[in-house]
A and B are shown apart, each in its own frame.
Chain A
Amino acid sequence: MSGRSKKNYTTSLQKTLTGINGFDEITGGGIPSHRPTLICGDAGAGKTLFSIEFIVRGALEFREPGVILVFEEKAEDLSLNVASLGFNLKKLQKDGLLWIDHVHVDLSEIEETGLYDLDGLFIRLDHAIDSIGAKRVMLDTIENLFGSFENEAILRAELRRLFSWLKNKGVTAVITAERGHGMLTRHGLEEYVSDCVILLEHRVTNQISTRLLRVVKYRGSLHGTNEYPFLIDEDGISVLPVTSLLLKREVASQRVSCGIPSLDAMLGGKGFFRGSSILVSGTAGTGKTSIAAYFAEASCQRKERSLFFAFEESPQQIIRNMQSIKIDLKKYIDAGLLQIHSSRPTLYGLESHLVAIHKKVKKFKPRTVIIDPITNLTSVASISEVKSMLIRLIDFLQNEGITVLLTALVYDKDKSIQADEGISSIVDAWIQVRDLEGNGERNRGIYIMKSRGMSHSNQVREFVITNNGLELVDVYLGPDGILVGSARQAQELQEATGAEMRTYALSRKDRELERKKLVLEAKIASLNEEFESVRDELNKTFVEEELKKVIMEKNLKHLTQNRNSRNIENGKSNKK
């Protein structure tokens, strides 16, 4: 049966895009064109939704009209059920892109009286396909026919005829079937539809359900055989390709600030590489979220979008708490630069978280992503599962060139163990915030455990959270080891006192010198004065004598004149 009518399409397998998020990637282009594809799974696995999305996306995105043949739900119920996904089946029907036919199968009212065939179904399908020129067909769930006809041999022959008829008709068909015990389908439909079989599962582990999709068979095409988690939400189905760790991504040498200048300084002064992954680990209450908030703020200040996934706090809580250290995240949220998504880790399975993160990243296109904290994810899965999920996540983000900051909670008890969900080897930079206990107080020390590709400080800094934000303070390295907190402050105070004392002593000496100088200067002044007075004295006698001499001369002259006037005859002799 596998060889039937396959020769019609010997050329390389044509594929039809489903338009379902991520599915076309894992199948390398969708499901095989002009062939039937079987979608099987348990009740509630998402078979009908998958098929409807295939039809509706085909109509909306590829303008390929589709026919829906439902055996279970009535057409109205179907429209109603998918309306929540934003699919308007009524409008599509009106636009001639969709044809819905509800095949009502009644179990009791039919009597079988001899040989028959399912020509009625063929005619209906043929009519529907020709009426709108359909390229896609969905049969949901054709197995229901098994309940209403006694003659299974006829039914099986007719189904086989139907599938080969669909092939010849050239439509790409999707057929859903319930999963059976030990078989893919309850009635062995996989025998007839052997080109492509997709299995949808709904697995519950630790009370948390994860939806999984697996391509069981895809004749003539390479396909991933992994189980791919998928998510059903308001946008329909999103399948997450499990990205392979090929390590071929492009790297950037650009650096981005982490928002804390002193931490940047420890990282060679420039911060992290763009597109790198950073792990911030630390015990409870060491300020991991604060570092993350700084990182987000720095990103927003660069006008780069940032996406914050919080597993512990609600957005409002984060905004309020960060206001206490002078970070106003609300401003950036309002500006559309920051989005905070909070969810409990137990909301859904690990893989679904990954899908959800994927989707939001694809939608928001951030340059930085923060996940706070990754350790909470262990409540829904084992550590090894968390690790594999994180590897895939980091891989995905780095391929997108997104810088990612993860925080990890380290439990106090096993401080020696580097509890980081084992991802420290795949992150590019690892910062640890650690409690430094002593002197009856708890202080925070920050180290850079590693930072690939850059020089970084090997020192422990004290990490202080103040009303004005985070600060890194050099710890005091003394003879008794490092001093932090109040001990450091005391030490600093002591040093400051010493310094003060020294300056005091210094100034006192200065003053003494000054005074001595003043005294000496005073002495010099008085000596000067003395000298002046001596000189004055000397000058005085000299002047007096001079004066006396002048006066005497004057007097002598006067006297001589007087004598001459009395003795005129002798006047000439006196003139000499």
Chain B
Amino acid sequence: MKKQRVVNDLKNAAKPPPEYKLRLFVTGASPNSVRAITNIRNICDVYLKGRYELHIIDVYQDVALAQKEQLIALPLLIKKLPLPERKLIGDLSETEKVLKALEVDV
């Protein structure tokens, strides 16, 4: 968990470009971070199966990133694709809000 990991749940993601490109910034194993990782995985599994690419970045591993990415509140989820880019903060426990922000049709 502490290490920077690139999680790509989709086995053959290389073929079509993923519809959803997500980046999640977390801070080590803090409760909020752990919850956020669990929550986003659940959401992805349930609603975006096979359509997404998720990068989980531990800011502690590269502290300079915090300034570069203008990080303030964490955990932070950035939806890079589809455009427009959206930012979500928090442990992503409010699934409805998350889905709405990600513009996922339920």
Q: A residues near B, CB below 8 A?
A: 101, 103-105, 109-121, 123-124, 126-128, 145, 149
- Does residue B94 face the partner (Cβ distance < 8 Å to A)? yes
For chain B, what secondary structure do more than half of its interface residues adopt (helix, strand, loop), or is it mixed? mixed
Closest residue of A by beta carbon distance from B97: A113
B86 touches A117 (CB 8 A): no
B27 touches A116 (CB 8 A): no
- Known A118-B72, A120-B25, A120-B71; contact A113-B66, beta-carbon cutoff 8 A: no
Option from B64, B67, B91 in Cβ contact (under 8 Å) with A114: B91
- Known A117-B32, A120-B66, A123-B27; contact A110-B74, beta-carbon cutoff 8 A: no
Closest residue of B by beta carbon distance from A105: B72
B35 touches A114 (CB 8 A): yes
B67 touches A112 (CB 8 A): no
- Does residue B63 face the partner (Cβ distance < 8 Å to A)? yes
A497 CB to nearest B CB, Å: 98
User: Could you count the A-B residue pairs with CB atoms below 8 Å apart for me: how many are there?
Assistant: 97
A117 touches B35 (CB 8 A): no
B99 CB to nearest A CB, Å: 10
Would you give 29 A-B contacts (Cβ < 8 Å), ordered by A?
A: A103-B72, A110-B73, A110-B87, A110-B88, A111-B89, A113-B90, A113-B94, A113-B98, A114-B94, A115-B35, A115-B91, A115-B93, A116-B32, A116-B75, A116-B90, A118-B72, A119-B27, A119-B59, A119-B74, A120-B25, A120-B27, A120-B59, A120-B71, A120-B76, A123-B60, A124-B63, A124-B66, A124-B67, A127-B63
B80 CB to nearest A CB, Å: 13
Q: How far, in angstroms, from A103 to B70 measured CA to CA in the complex? A: 6
Q: Which residues does chain B contribute within 8 Å of A110, judged by CB atoms? A: 73, 87-89
- Does residue B1 face the partner (Cβ distance < 8 Å to A)? no
- Known A116-B90, A119-B30, A123-B66; contact A111-B74, beta-carbon cutoff 8 A: no
Leading 5 A-B pairs by shortest Cβ distance: A120-B71, A114-B90, A114-B93, A114-B91, A127-B63
A interface footprint on B44-78 (CB within 8 Å = 1, 0 otherwise): 00000000000000011001101100111111110
Option from B35, B71, B94 in Cβ contact (under 8 Å) with A124: B71
Option from B63, B77, B86, B89 in Cβ contact (under 8 Å) with A123: B63
Q: B residues near A, CB below 8 A?
A: 25, 27, 30, 32, 35-36, 39, 59-60, 63-64, 66-67, 70-77, 86-94, 97-98, 101
Option from A111, A113, A127, A145 in Cβ contact (under 8 Å) with B64: A127
Closest residue of B by beta carbon distance from A104: B70
Q: Which residues does chain B contribute within 8 Å of A113, judged by CB atoms? A: 77, 88-94, 97-98, 101
Q: Which residues does chain B contribute within 8 Å of A104, judged by CB atoms? A: 70
Q: How far, in angstroms, from A116 to B76 measured CA to CA in the complex? A: 9
- Known A101-B67, A116-B32; contact A111-B101, beta-carbon cutoff 8 A: yes
Closest residue of A by beta carbon distance from B98: A113
A109 touches B67 (CB 8 A): no
A121 touches B72 (CB 8 A): yes
Which of B35, B36, B73, B86 counts the most A-chain CB atoms under 10 A from its CB?
Answer: B73
Q: How far, in angstroms, from A114 to B89 measured CA to CA in the complex? A: 7
A112 touches B87 (CB 8 A): no
Closest residue of A by beta carbon distance from B69: A120
Q: Which residues does chain B contribute within 8 Å of A119, judged by CB atoms? A: 27, 30, 59, 73-74
Closest residue of A by beta carbon distance from B76: A120
Q: Which residues does chain A contribute within 8 Å of B77, judged by CB atoms? A: 113
A129 CB to nearest B CB, Å: 11
A118 touches B101 (CB 8 A): no
Given A101-B67, A117-B27, A118-B73, 5 more contacts at CB 8 Å? Answer: A103-B70, A114-B90, A114-B93, A120-B59, A127-B66
